[in-house]
Chain A
């Protein structure tokens, strides 16, 4: 079967579909990404502060936040006076 260049994803989607868990995981990532970026709009925060405000465990915040740093959405800010925790800010 001839499939148009640039539209092959549609071909495979129609052929085999997309598993529910993949859609759910994307929703979850987008939900947490939005929550983090919304809260970082106005101030720099540490992982502990983000965790407290978003009511998400610190280790999950670490994972999602560091992923957002890698994707260029969030940047690392200053470290605190005790040289223990960095703050993070939105890339604008």
Chain B
């Protein structure tokens, strides 16, 4: 492609603006290095900013994420590119990386947008809201979510009818459909990869009925239902708007399952399911919550106590492997499962089933570097060259990995990992600084 590229120079490139990338960028910036933080989405904050609460403390996730994201956005040493993608990185020599970056147009001048939402009200289009995991609609001119950063409107150009209604009502005239994709060539001295993870797609297990049975939802959909910025007024079944009474969790959906290509444990599903169960019992005091599990892995600090707390609250734990989910005419769901303790097959009826989907690697990270330079592990996470001695080092000297780009992990471990990656990057920058 012969597009014109603007040349940029920074000390560090951080790929991914989730909690790990943000933390790494902050550490680098606080040490005085100039950082370019590249995020593919319209907002910083990754998956964490969309969570309700965090385990095992039940702290509000947004209350932790938003100040951090705000600090990142305001930092004088950090430049943020949202809706942008790093398409290629080449290591020219030590301390000398060249990256190709593509920045999609937002069709809104962020610096002029006051987030008044008049464009959103004027927009006639309604499409499924990806930030509410399809449970509800959003407009084509929209603010991604209430705590998004940047808090500015964006135009979903693929679903926009180009009617111009948003432009007409915008008091600051910040909507601009003449914006085009921009291309950059970045020169940086070090790179931190914080590309995060993908959630397992439950459509790959048809016997669970996801997509077919509307009251089978994913854990991220439930996460949104129990968040303060939830899609509905309370917790409802998407199939018919009923307030559910009997809610089941199916752990290890797409984890520890070689048949779907993911034999490893996702590390977080047991605990986030237990967290959601506790929150559900608070929101719906009369509800029965049952967690179907193979093993509960409560290995972290405070995790076992958190598990015991859920039991004490009345969450029902069944050691059982789900064979099949079927739907009744009224939308209720029949779970057919192997009772592992008794060695028999049983059936149980629930109003709603939550699939505790696992963690998969983000395949985009491997494609950024040419000729297999960046080594991946057997599950396509970034390989850690010295797991015990220097866990953030990758196969390329000067490129470091942070957070779930290297393996499934929880939020505290992601932040620790980002601290490690930024420390290694700073050490690399100091070692190779031009004298």
Instruction: Decide if A and B are genuine partners.
Output: yes
A-side interface mostly: helix
B5 contacts the other chain (CB 8 A): no
- State how many angstroms separate the Cβ of A23 from the closest Cβ of chain B: 7
A25 touches B236 (CB 8 A): no
A10 touches B239 (CB 8 A): no
* Across-interface contacts of A62 in B (CB, < 8 A): 214, 236-241
Whole-angstrom CA separation of A71 from B136 in the bound complex: 11
Q: Given A18-B161, A63-B136, A67-B137, A12–B177 Cβ distance below 8 Å?
A: yes
A59 touches B214 (CB 8 A): yes
B177 touches A6 (CB 8 A): no
State which residues 332-368 of B face A: CB under 8 Å: none
B240 touches A59 (CB 8 A): yes
Whole-angstrom CA separation of A63 from B420 in the bound complex: 44
B178 contacts the other chain (CB 8 A): yes
Whole-angstrom CA separation of A80 from B240 in the bound complex: 14
Mark interface residues in A37-69 (1 if CB within 8 Å of B CB, else 0). Answer: 000000000111001000000110111111101
Other-chain contact of A12, B128, B158, B178, B236 (Cβ < 8 Å): B178
Other-chain contact of A70, B127, B176, B231 (Cβ < 8 Å): B231
Q: Given A18-B162, A23-B161, A59-B239, A67–B136 Cβ distance below 8 Å?
A: yes
B164 contacts the other chain (CB 8 A): yes
Q: Given A63-B136, A69-B233, A83–B162 Cβ distance below 8 Å?
A: no
State which residues 235-267 of B face A: CB under 8 Å: 236-243, 245
* Across-interface contacts of A64 in B (CB, < 8 A): 137
By beta carbon, the residue of chain A nearest B164 is A9
- State how many angstroms separate the Cβ of B323 from the closest Cβ of chain A: 25
How many A residues touch the partner, as a band?
35 or more
Other-chain contact of A6, B168, B239, B243, B286 (Cβ < 8 Å): B168
* Across-interface contacts of B240 in A (CB, < 8 A): 47-48, 51, 58-59, 62, 85
* Across-interface contacts of A61 in B (CB, < 8 A): 241
A79 touches B243 (CB 8 A): yes
A5 touches B236 (CB 8 A): no
B161 touches A22 (CB 8 A): yes
Whole-angstrom CA separation of A18 from B157 in the bound complex: 10
* Across-interface contacts of A25 in B (CB, < 8 A): 125, 127, 159
B126 contacts the other chain (CB 8 A): yes
- State how many angstroms separate the Cβ of B327 from the closest Cβ of chain A: 12
A8 touches B135 (CB 8 A): no
B12 contacts the other chain (CB 8 A): no
Other-chain contact of B163, A9, A76, A86 (Cβ < 8 Å): A9
Mark interface residues in B175-213 (1 if CB within 8 Å of A CB, else 0). Answer: 111100000000000000000000000000000000000
Chain A CB within 10 Å — which of B173, B214, B236, B242 has the most?
B242
By beta carbon, the residue of chain A nearest B168 is A6
* Across-interface contacts of B237 in A (CB, < 8 A): 62
A66 touches B178 (CB 8 A): no
* Across-interface contacts of A84 in B (CB, < 8 A): 242-243, 245
Other-chain contact of A3, B128, B161, B178, B214 (Cβ < 8 Å): B178
By beta carbon, the residue of chain A nearest B123 is A71
Known: A62-B239, A66-B136, A83-B243. 13 other contacts (CB 8 A): A8-B175, A9-B164, A12-B178, A23-B161, A46-B241, A59-B239, A62-B214, A62-B238, A62-B240, A63-B136, A65-B241, A67-B136, A71-B126
25 contacts between A and B (CB under 8 A): A6-B170, A6-B173, A9-B164, A12-B177, A18-B160, A22-B161, A25-B125, A25-B127, A26-B125, A29-B126, A33-B126, A47-B240, A48-B240, A48-B241, A58-B239, A58-B241, A58-B331, A59-B214, A62-B240, A63-B238, A66-B136, A84-B245, A85-B242, A86-B236, A86-B243
